[in-house]
Amino acid sequence: MLPNNILSIAKKTIANEAKAIANLENFLDDTFTKAVEQIYNAKGRVIITGIGKSAIIAHKIVATLNSTGTPAIFMHAADAIHGDLGIILEDDVVICISKSGNTPEIKVLVPLIKNFKNPLIAITGNSASFLANQADYVLNTYVDKEACPNNLAPTTSTTAQLVMGDALAVCLLELKGFSSQDFAKYHPGGALGKQLYLRVSDITANNNKPQVSPDTPITEVIVEISEKMLGATAVIENNTIVGVITDGDLRRMIKENKDFSLLTAKDIMSTSPKLIDNNAMAIDARNLLEDYGVSQLIAQENGLYKGIIHLHNLIKEGIV
């Protein structure tokens, strides 16, 4: 197969699925609104079930709901009739996902769920199916055809299911007023979580704190910067930040002065250091470093010097 043919197939697949997703908008009506309100007002959890590829999509929707403030649990449709029905509690809402809505497992499971009197939401591509006829709310995910050339492998249909699940999750997120702070509570790990909770103070507290006075000899300034390993030092006078000296300042000094033995910190320091509040978010520090085109920021709190945050700190934390 020629590379151009491969690209053609890939583009055709994407176009097929994009068209199907765009068409989902035409299926949204008051039923979708009522389904969202049912979940929002429920005292219990959302139990999502399915079989085959629909079960995999159910897993993802469960994860999305949990991470955005709506407690959800996955229940495999086949396992449900062998004891897992015990997952369902009185106040729970059940979502059943099935393209055809007529698979044997679904036909066995749905009446059992109905016996529990729990609200049942169907996500199906067949609005005339057994599942759709039994459900309290039907969310239509019909697609004309699968991206698979044999129209067999679940491709476009599972994408439509996934997008419908995302629509539910985002609507619930908005109704709950779910904020970035709430999001951080559920995502404390990894770079994403750190962007939402890591502060400059969390980094400066573990860094060295290089500082010199305006009258500190250059030789001592060099030692301070080298030993503290942050590529810079603050210049402090009467507990006030009056300047900063960076590795770049030292290189320029050496280039411009054959003899710098008599120079002091005040002779080469920058009197306009780039500052950041010690309680600011680390992501804000990253943005300032990018805006200023520098590698370090001087952290302060109530006018007092608290330390230096370096680009390498943010790289290590996964913020950059």
Domains of the chain, residue spans: 3-178, 200-317
CATH superfamily of 200-317: CBS-domain (3.10.580.10)
Task: Write down the residue that tokens 């036909």 correspond to.
Answer: 107
CA–CA dist 107, 52 (Å, integer): 15
pTM (2 decimals)? 0.70
**The sheet that has 137-140: what strands, in order across it?**
72-76, 46-50, 93-98, 120-124, 137-140
| Type of residue found at 244 | V
CA–CA dist 50, 98 (Å, integer): 6
Tell me if 310 is assigned to a ligand binding site.
no
Task: Write down the residue that tokens 């085109």 correspond to.
Answer: 293
Residues in CB range of 178: below 8 A, 6 or more apart: 68, 69
Distance of CA 81 to the CA centre of its chain: 35
Q: Over the chain, what HEC string results?
A: CCHHHHHHHHHHHHHHHHHHHHHHHHHCCHHHHHHHHHHHHCCCCEEEEECCHHHHHHHHHHHHHHHCCCCEEEEEHHHHCCCHHHHCCCCCEEEEEECCCCCHHHHHHHHHHHHCCCCEEEEECCCCCHHHHHCCEEEECCCCCCCCCCCCCCCHHHHHHHHHHHHHHHHHHHHHCCCHHHHHHHCCCHHHHHHHHCEHHHHHCCCCCCEECCCCEHHHHHHHHHHHCCCEEEEEECCEEEEEEEHHHHHHHHHHCCCCCCCEHHHHCECCCCEEECCCEHHHHHHHHHHHCCCEEEEEECCEEEEEEEHHHHHHHCCC
Whether the CB-CB separation of 124 and 106 falls below 8 Å is answered with no
Q: Which CATH class is domain 3-178?
A: alpha beta
- Strand 232-237 relative to strand 211-212: parallel, antiparallel, unpaired? parallel
Q: Which residue, 15, 17, 24, is CA-closest to 141?
A: 24
pLDDT tens by residue, the chain, 320 residues = 677 799 999 999 999 999 999 999 999 999 999 999 999 999 999 999 999 999 999 999 999 999 899 999 999 999 998 999 999 999 999 999 999 999 999 999 999 999 999 999 999 999 999 999 999 999 999 999 999 989 989 999 999 999 999 999 999 999 999 887 777 677 666 666 677 778 999 999 999 999 999 999 999 999 999 999 999 999 999 989 999 999 999 999 988 888 888 899 999 999 999 999 999 999 999 999 999 999 999 999 998 999 999 999 999 888 87
Burial 13-37 (b: 16+ CB within 10 A, else e): beebbeebbeebeebeeebbeebbe
